[in-house]
A = this chain, B = another copy of it.
Amino acid sequence: MSFVSVNIEQGAETPVKLTRRALAKQRTRERVLAAARRLFSERGYEGATIRDIAQAAGMSTGAVFASFADKSELFEEILTADYEVIYAQMTQAARTAKTVDEALLGLFGVAYSFHVEQLPLLRASISVSWTRSEAAERRARNDLKHIFKLIGVALQRAVDEGQLKKDIDAKLLAEIVWDVYVANYRRAVYDGWSVEALLARLSDQLKVIFAGARA
């Protein structure tokens, strides 16, 4: 027992075996993700073939499928990574806002700003979101649940601070806000709206939606 099994590192992190094999697999996985992110961005979802990605990552076609069930899962993984980065920003934006409208426009603005920087990836994400496996669908829904909750928190705060009536159905309201945002998000992507255009539209819509709820 001298050199083998890198388990030596002061453990206490996660009960995960860090054998050489596992490390290699992890590196492989990361190489695929890096290559895939680049190619998806450059060529869109359909344009980036598994063969290209595998070659760019320096491995055979089949190796990709050892780390990812299918192409859409690989893609979802990339989106999820992005999402985790912006979720913190969205939370922050909502927290520092003064009014409900500010909070909602703030957090949606953050998300869209982030995504609009890489339109090809974003477009691809929309196209894929409704296409592929139920697994991908559920995963996407799960990601969104967090954002949905963020909206709920903003609404609740507005109630507590007296901006909205006490008897509103916050869940229902949050759902409507979210539905409208998603619809606009799609339009924005397809028609190449700026962040400002999206927010202006959303602002108008929020006025209508909250019309009956303001205190």
Contact = CB atoms under 8 A, between A and B. Distances in A.
Greatest chain B CB density within 10 A among A130, A137, A180, A184 is at: A130
Q: Is the interface of A mostly helix, strand, loop or mixed?
A: helix
A208 B127 contact: no
B209 A208 contact: yes
A208 B130 CA distance: 28
A173 B208 CA distance: 7
Interface string A118-146: 00000000111111100001000000000
A108 to B, nearest CB: 14
A4 interface: no
B131 A172 contact: no
Given A129-B130, A211-B211, 20 more contacts: A127-B130, A127-B131, A130-B130, A130-B186, A131-B131, A169-B208, A175-B183, A176-B180, A176-B208, A178-B183, A179-B180, A179-B182, A180-B180, A182-B183, A183-B183, A208-B212, A208-B213, A209-B209, A210-B212, A211-B212
Interface of A: 126-132, 137, 169, 172-173, 175-176, 178-180, 182-184, 186, 190, 204-205, 208-213
